[in-house]
A and B are shown apart, each in its own frame.
Chain A
Amino acid sequence: MNMRQRVPEIFLGLGFVGIMSTLYLGMNWAPSVSINAFESPAAQRIFYWHVPAAWSAFIAFGVLFIGSALWFFKRSPIGWRLHVAGAEAGLACGLMTVWSGCVWGAAEWGTPWDWTDVRLNTFGLLTLLALFLVLGRQSQPDGVETRDTFSTFGLYGFVLVPLTYIATRIWQIRHPGPVIAAGDDSGTLQSSMALVLLIGALSFTIFIIGHMMISMRITHLEQRLEQAQKALDGGN
């Protein structure tokens, strides 16, 4: 195996170590929140997983959008690989975000989900979109029509990303408002909390880039395998 093939695995390893370090720091080093501000202050530490996972989900959905556009408008094979990688990474990060949010919601709100909260539901829809794209691609034969259909979903589905981002700024129902980049003094974090969050965001970013690189490579190898098998069948 050459160095180029090892790069995604190095990213995955570094990202995984970073995520574990974030969890350790979040559990043992970051300060506790005020017991008056939360119903379940200990569960708040899930924030060090939930926020970076959501951040990496948005990166993955951005890649999905770019890949879909590149395939749909330019017929770029790399665009299709980006689409596949973005959908898979978006699904994984979306599920991590939803799962951690549900666990926190159960501890803090007494219910894992609130069907009236816009942020929860738009993000849930994004994750369902990624699930549809991943399962749909696996159940359909590969071809231009299939790619066009899924790319269209990738393009139009992206509208949920800015909607999810602004949801708590416009309609704050259950989900807490922004704690960073709030645009005023309402969303400030203690420096040690912000540091752990930053390490988490970087680690998740490295980890998800590694996953998308390896996913793109798998799609490329599958295409080559299909070509080789066609040649093999044609030769017999």
Chain B
Amino acid sequence: MEGTNYLTVAYLGMIAAIAIWTWTVVVRSRRIEARLEAVEASIGIDPAQADELSK
């Protein structure tokens, strides 16, 4: 039974950790994308051209 408790704690901790990590990364990606679109639109940069510049 003790082993099962260890297992449950470990699994729950890791499931929560990867779910939070994934959520954070996806939200961060979408937020940067929205911000970039706004900044590029305000200065009239074509996204394709900006892609080249960033290389």
Chain A residues within 8 Å of B, Cβ to Cβ: 5, 9, 12, 16, 19-20, 23, 27, 40-46, 49, 77, 92, 95-96, 99-100, 103-104, 106-107, 207, 211, 214-215, 217-218, 220-229, 231-232, 235
Contact = CB atoms under 8 A, between A and B. Distances in A.
Interface of B: 1-4, 6-7, 9-11, 13-15, 17-19, 21-22, 25-26, 28-29, 32-33, 35-36, 39-40, 42-43, 45, 50-51, 53-55
19 contacts: A5-B33, A9-B26, A16-B18, A42-B1, A42-B6, A42-B7, A43-B4, A44-B3, A46-B7, A96-B17, A99-B10, A103-B7, A211-B22, A215-B25, A218-B29, A221-B33, A224-B36, A224-B50, A228-B40
Pairs of residues from A and B, 8 with the lowest C-beta to C-beta distance, nearest first? A42-B3, A40-B3, A43-B3, A103-B10, A107-B6, A223-B54, A228-B39, A224-B54
B22 A16 contact: yes
Given A46-B7, A49-B10, A218-B25, 6 more contacts: A40-B2, A46-B11, A100-B10, A103-B9, A104-B6, A227-B50
Contacts, number: 106
A43 B22 contact: no
Given A218-B28, A221-B32, A223-B54, A232 B43 contact: yes
Contacts of B42: 232
A12 to B, nearest CB: 6
Nearest to B39: A228
Contacts of A41: 3
Contacts of B28: 218
A190 to B, nearest CB: 19
B54 A227 contact: yes
B40 to A, nearest CB: 5
A49 B14 contact: yes
